[in-house]
Amino acid sequence: MTARSSEVKVYVRTRPTACFAQELIEYLPDEQTVNVRHRRDSRKGVMNNQMSSWSFRLDGVLHNMSQEDVYQSVAHSVVLGALEGYNGTIMCFGQTGAGKTYTMTGATESYKQRGIIPRALQEVFHEVEQRVDHTFSVLLSFLEIYNETLVDLLASIKTGRAVQSGALTVVEEPGGGVSVKGLSLHPVHNEEEALNLLFEGEMNRIIGEHALNKNSSRSHCIFTIHIESRSRTLSGASYVTSKLNLVDLAGSERLSKTGSEGQVQREAMYINRSLSFLEQAIIALADRRREHVPFRQSKLTHALKDSLGGNCNTVLVANIYGEAAQIEETLSTLRFAARMKCVRTEPSINEHVDPALQVRRLHKEIQLLKQELSIHDTLANRAGAAYESLSETQVAEVQSQVQRYLAGTLDEITIVSVRQIQEVFTQFKKAVHEQEQKVKEQLSQKYSLVEKTENIMSSPVKGEEPVGAVGEVEVGFGLGLAVPSQRHTRPQSPNKSKGRKSKESSRMLHEPQVQQRALL
Ligand code: ADP
Ligand code: MG
């Protein structure tokens, strides 16, 4: 399947607030452009009232939009792509409190406010039910990256495929993909089972938060729906797989702003580092001249290696908190979004061939072909019953070919059908007979002269066989039997005719001797 190049889709979503900074953030009616005005150099504390403005053009502005509409704009086509075999990644990026988790998971207490993950699971299982010509298997994994450590949020659940104990590691796969070694994968058969795992994972995240005194906004979460599908109608050994990564990134606020100490500072440092590595990877991906992209610098970029700029439909939601106090974070989030928009991806269907199934399929095909061949053989043997006999023109053509072949003007006769082969033989037989006739007639003309002479010279005694006869031929000729053309008309039993034939052919061999003897 050929890859089609496409840009990462980028949307901006604002968290609703009573004090939206209208004078600083402007959404244009095209629903794609955000203009931001900000006092220059305010960070350095320099009093400067000069305003600068920036304009960001994205794929869509999701302002005052319901969860359902956000899902339709952002996720629907990526989810459908995943069912077709395209990898997909939907990421939420932004400062803490901007609405990343609300967008990705939603408000758990309200069905209407559920986010992209539960809606994606609902759509996946709805499609699986609809697409009766395919069999699907759906598996889930839930990974958290906290302070450069990988945590399996579903490790406590027993339904998962057996995984090795020990630290989780990101491993490169043949073909450029990555996977997390040791991460548990959980088969799910319906929406309810899948939602239970999502909530279980969320719960483990909160438990870990209390136990380790960590803050959920300081960790990155990757919820992955792994899909495998096979066609029921095509008996081929090929199948397609895809990964749909739903990523809730840690808060992107800057360290300087948090002003924190101790563990919080260390967390913030890790977050800042991994997010700045994410930014570096994105800058490298967006620059088409750069051959090396530093994915391995952090666990996050390494784990997302094939989701950011590779074989993937990638969507970024930049969550902003539209209050005046947050304008710097808003600006930095929008800059990140604009860079991400320059990244190109090459999504292609992940098609695989199952070798064992392929061998079985080929074996079956050989059996079928053998059967087909034996049917052909049978038909060929019963050619008279199975096919139309040759037309007069076809017979004439075969006859002409045989004559040209015998004359040496045709090198070979191409075999076309069993009927034609039979006709070629018939024509050969005819040619041989004609030749035989000719020779015999010529000979009999000569011998009738000899015979007359012999009759005059020595008439045999009536009723006696001639002495010294070498065979019937010599006897016949010696006795002056009818010429061969006349003898052929004599009715023969089938058995006799067979014997006759061999005698006739032996006569062909012996006739020169006869001639010699007769002439003596
Ligand atoms: P983040 O994950 O980015 O830190 P949250 O998703 O936790 O932020 O959002 C912070 C708060 O704002 C939550 O109480 C959430 O319900 C609310 N919120 C965020 N975005 C929206 C929105 N679009 N509509 C309604 N409430 C929202
Ligand atoms: Mg959050």
Residue 118 main-chain phi, psi, to 5 deg: -60, -35
pLDDT confidence band for 492 (50 / 70 / 90): very low
Helix axes 67-74, 116-130, angle to 10 degrees: 60
What's the pLDDT at 287? 81
Domain boundary among 353, 385, 412: 353
What's the pLDDT at 156? 86
What's the pLDDT at 478? 37
DSSP 340-357: HHT-EE----EEEE-HHH
Amino acid at 155: A
What's the pLDDT at 90? 97
From the CA atom positions of the chain, what is the Rg in Å?
Answer: 46
Q: What whole-number percentage of the chain has pLDDT above 70?
A: 74
Q: Which residues pair with 240 in a beta bridge?
A: 229, 351
What's the pLDDT at 300? 93
Residue nearest to atom 16 of ligand 1 (CA): 102
Tokens linked to 235 = 């008996």
Instruction: With respect to residue 498, please indicate whether it lies within any of the assigned structural domains.
Output: no
Nearest alpha carbon to residue 105 among 121, 128, 86: 121
pLDDT at 148 over 90: no
Residue nearest to atom 18 of ligand 1 (CA): 99
Instruction: With respect to residue 487, please indicate whether it lies within any of the assigned structural domains.
Output: no
Task: Yes or no: say if 169 and 121 are a contact pair by the CB < 8 Å rule.
Answer: no
CA of 407 to the centre of ligand 1 (A): 98
pLDDT confidence band for 387 (50 / 70 / 90): low
CA of 221 to the centre of ligand 2 (A): 9
Tokens linked to 223 = 């919820």
Tell me the residue range of the domain where 396 lies: 356-446
Q: Which residues pair with 62 in a beta bridge?
A: 13
Which ligand is nearest the CA of 93, by number?
1
Between the two ends of the chain, the Cα-to-Cα distance in Å is 89
CA of 491 to the centre of ligand 1 (A): 111
Looking at the structure, tell me whether residues 336 and 360 fall in a common domain.
no
Task: Yes or no: say if 306 and 177 are a contact pair by the CB < 8 Å rule.
Answer: yes
Domain boundary among 398, 419, 446: 446
Instruction: With respect to residue 513, please indicate whether it lies within any of the assigned structural domains.
Output: no
What's the DSSP call for residue 131? -
Residue nearest to atom 23 of ligand 1 (CA): 15
pLDDT at 123 over 90: yes
pLDDT at 106 over 70: yes
Looking at the structure, tell me whether residues 312 and 243 fall in a common domain.
yes
Q: Which of 207-216, 416-425, 489-498 has the highest mean pLDDT?
A: 416-425
Cα separation, 159 vs 225, whole angstroms: 15
Cα separation, 420 vs 321, whole angstroms: 87
pLDDT confidence band for 480 (50 / 70 / 90): very low
What's the pLDDT at 288? 75
Cα separation, 389 vs 382, whole angstroms: 12
pLDDT, the chain, mean: 80
Token pair 């089972």: residue: 193
Q: Which atom of ligand 1 is the closest one to the Cα of 103?
A: 6
Looking at the structure, tell me whether residues 247 and 287 fall in a common domain.
yes
Per DSSP, the three-state class of 399 is helix
Tokens linked to 332 = 């930095």
Tally of CA atoms within 13 A in the half-sphere of 9 that contains its CB: 19
Instruction: With respect to residue 516, please indicate whether it lies within any of the assigned structural domains.
Output: no
Looking at the structure, tell me whether residues 348 and 440 fall in a common domain.
no
SS3 content of the chain, % helix, strand, coil (to 5): 50, 20, 30
Of 11, 12, 14, 15, the one to substitute when testing ligand 1's pocket (max ligand atoms within 8 A of C-beta) is 15
For 245-287, the pLDDT digits (tens) are: 999 998 887 655 445 566 666 666 776 778 888 888 888 888 8
Which ligand is nearest the CA of 319, by number?
1
* Mean pLDDT for the stretch of residues 20-49: 80
Cα separation, 228 vs 242, whole angstroms: 7
Cα separation, 244 vs 83, whole angstroms: 9
For 287-337, the pLDDT digits (tens) are: 877 778 889 989 999 999 888 877 889 999 999 999 999 999 999 999 999
Residues with CB under 6 A from ligand 1: 15-16, 94, 96-102, 107, 217, 251, 319
Nearest alpha carbon to residue 347 among 308, 291, 294: 308
Helix axes 327-341, 262-286, angle to 10 degrees: 30
Length reported for the chain: 520
Looking at the structure, tell me whether residues 362 and 279 fall in a common domain.
no
Q: Which residues contact 7 (CB under 8 A, 6 or more apart)?
A: 341, 342, 343, 344, 345
Looking at the structure, tell me whether residues 348 and 361 fall in a common domain.
no
Task: Yes or no: say if 115 and 121 are a contact pair by the CB < 8 Å rule.
Answer: no
Instruction: With respect to residue 493, please indicate whether it lies within any of the assigned structural domains.
Output: no
Q: How many of the other CB atoms lie within 10 Å of CB of 348?
A: 16
Domain boundary among 313, 332, 353: 353
Instruction: With respect to residue 511, please indicate whether it lies within any of the assigned structural domains.
Output: no
Helix axes 191-211, 116-130, angle to 10 degrees: 160
pLDDT at 455 over 70: no
What's the pLDDT at 65? 94
Looking at the structure, tell me whether residues 365 and 346 fall in a common domain.
no
Tokens linked to 425 = 């033989």
Looking at the structure, tell me whether residues 325 and 186 fall in a common domain.
yes
Cα separation, 287 vs 294, whole angstroms: 13
pLDDT confidence band for 464 (50 / 70 / 90): very low
Cα separation, 25 vs 36, whole angstroms: 5
Which run of H or of E encompasses 244? strand 238-248
More confident residue, 477 or 109: 109
Instruction: With respect to residue 465, please indicate whether it lies within any of the assigned structural domains.
Output: no
Token pair 């090198």: residue: 411
CA of 199 to the centre of ligand 2 (A): 15
pLDDT at 169 over 90: yes
Instruction: With respect to residue 488, please indicate whether it lies within any of the assigned structural domains.
Output: no
More confident residue, 173 or 505: 173
Looking at the structure, tell me whether residues 268 and 301 fall in a common domain.
yes
Looking at the structure, tell me whether residues 247 and 204 fall in a common domain.
yes
CA of 14 to the centre of ligand 1 (A): 9
| Vertex 88: Cα angle to 87 and 93 (nearest 5) | 145
More confident residue, 367 or 242: 242
Task: Yes or no: say if 477 and 447 are a contact pair by the CB < 8 Å rule.
Answer: yes
Number of domains within the chain: 2
For 177-221, the pLDDT digits (tens) are: 899 999 999 999 999 999 999 999 998 888 777 666 666 678 899
Looking at the structure, tell me whether residues 410 and 328 fall in a common domain.
no
For 348-363, the pLDDT digits (tens) are: 888 888 788 778 888 8
pLDDT confidence band for 477 (50 / 70 / 90): very low
Looking at the structure, tell me whether residues 78 and 95 fall in a common domain.
yes
Q: Which residues pair with 238 in a beta bridge?
A: 353
pLDDT at 491 over 60: no
**Beta strands, E only, 147-219:** 149-152, 169-172, 178-181, 186-188
